[in-house]
Amino acid sequence: MKKLKLIILLLAVTGFEVQAQELDVNLQIRPRFEYRNGYKTLLPEGQEGTSQISQRSRLNFNYKQDQFTVKLTLQNTRTWGDVATTATADKNGIAVFEAWAQYDLTEKWSARMGRQVLSYDNQRILGEQDWGQQAQSHDALTFSFHTEKQQLDFGGAYNSDAENTFQTPYTVANYKALQYAWYHANLDKLGFSFLALNTGYEYANIDKKLLVDYKQTFGPYLTYKTDKIDANLWVYGQTGKSTDRQVSAWNAAANFGYNITQSFKAGVGYEFLSGKNTTDGSTVIKSFNPIFGTNHGFNGYMDYFYVGGGHLNSVGLQDAFLKLNYNVNKWQFALMPHIFLAAADVITPVEKLDSYLGTEIDFSVGFNFKKEITLTGGYSQMFGSKTLEYLKTGDASHTNNWAWLMISVNPRIFTWKK
């Protein structure tokens, strides 16, 4: 550790001109145990659940010099045991999660380029997806204008899978091009945001010509906060085209939370994500896609819906839930029951099924062991219906549950100013 600090200090002193400078280096070690017994989908008949431990390891460098800021985050994600103890190479290797440089053009304007996180509002459309050990970041150029009560961010990205010399298909499971703009204003107790996102995905038409179709996602996000009340509302529409198919979908939600005491908070919410009837033969895409949202934070922690592409282009979803939070000393407790229903008709070859998909109960607990160490865990159970069984297959009568325990260690290993 002393050698690492000495190397970093020598680089800082010899590599930069004598100006006001700051350098912060910190680590994150985050192993997570999971017991999966019907996680993401109903457990198939005759199958057994499984357990594993995954881990994220990160090294963060943060450097600032006057108007100039740089961040570099290196990470490794792994499953314990995915390589032998004598392996000469890691399965996933070291990845660059963030690598960006930012310059403050004026007190109000800044520009940032490189691998970066795009995260806005409650992360329903654009989020970091921090629950996933790999998380989510983008190669982009962004600009920001900010005053005391307003902020306007906009930017874009253009992707290729290699330094090609002629046109070749983009084979990465990612967008070809992206543009977005986000505006936010604080109006006393009311917060208002508006997001406009344009995503282009490449495809080959019937003549094998490479084309890019653009889909637009747009809408407002409102918050209202007082000492007792914490409420939000959003409405997003989706239009444009995807692989030569018209898009017409929408998403709306409302949440209301109330601080009953300083330690106890209760909330209620409802979300609607449009879908498509199972017998609808039109080519129009009517199922809403949260795109880059932190979907684990919505619609139940068991990730039956929208996480990892699950439930996309399906019958949509209605999610009615209650949320109870209790904090005492270093402990945080949360209980959240969900009732799920299809947003469109589920029709089999012989009958129309009930729209009720199931009920999920999520319980989680957190303990701040010390400033650098946090312990969290939880238990969830899905009580699925015959309709959910039809959509996802598997056995709804089986006990479908999930449990997890995670330790996050975040030490600051070096800090320097001059």
Q: How confident is the model at residue 2 (pLDDT cuts 50, 70, 90)?
A: low
Whether residue 15 lies inside any domain: the answer is no
Residue 332 or residue 20, greater confidence: 332
CB 325, CB 346: distance < 8 Å? no
Q: Does pLDDT of 316 surpass 90?
A: yes
- Longest Cα–Cα distance in the chain: 78
Average pLDDT, the chain: 94
Q: Which residues contact 316 (CB under 8 A, 6 or more apart)?
A: 272, 273, 274, 275, 276, 286, 287, 288, 342, 343, 344
Q: Is residue 8 part of a domain?
A: no
Residue pair 381/362 in contact by the 8 Å Cβ criterion: no
Q: Does residue 4 lie within any of the structural domains?
A: no
Mean pLDDT computed over 402-411: 98
Q: Which residues contact 293 (CB under 8 A, 6 or more apart)?
A: 123, 124, 125, 126, 127, 129, 306
Torsion of CA 143, 146, 152, 155, to 10 degrees: 10
- How many Å apart are CA 117 and CA 294, to the nearest integer? 12
Per the domain annotation, does 12 fall within a domain? no
pLDDT tens-digit map of 130-147: 999 999 999 999 999 999
Q: Structure tokens of 194?
A: 């508006």
pLDDT one-digit tens code per residue, 155-177: 999 999 999 999 999 999 999 99
- In CATH, what number is assigned to the domain containing residue 214? 2.40.160.100
pTM of the model: 0.92
* pLDDT tens column, 345-399: 999 999 999 999 999 999 999 999 999 999 999 999 999 999 999 999 899 999 9
> Does some domain include residue 140?
yes
The total number of structural domains in the chain stands at 1
Q: What domain range is 145 assigned to?
A: 28-417
Tell me whether residue 23 is in a domain.
no
d(CA 78, CA 58): 12
Task: Give residues with Cβ within 8 angstroms of 367, minimum separation 6.
Answer: 330, 331, 332, 374, 375, 376
Q: Over the stretch 188-223, which tens digit does the pLDDT of each residue have?
A: 999 999 999 999 999 999 999 999 999 999 999 999
Q: What pLDDT is attached to residue 125?
A: 98
10 Å CB burial of residue 357 (0-12, 13-18, 19+) is buried
Query: 49 lies in a domain?
Result: yes
Instruction: Establish if 246 belongs to a structural domain.
Output: yes
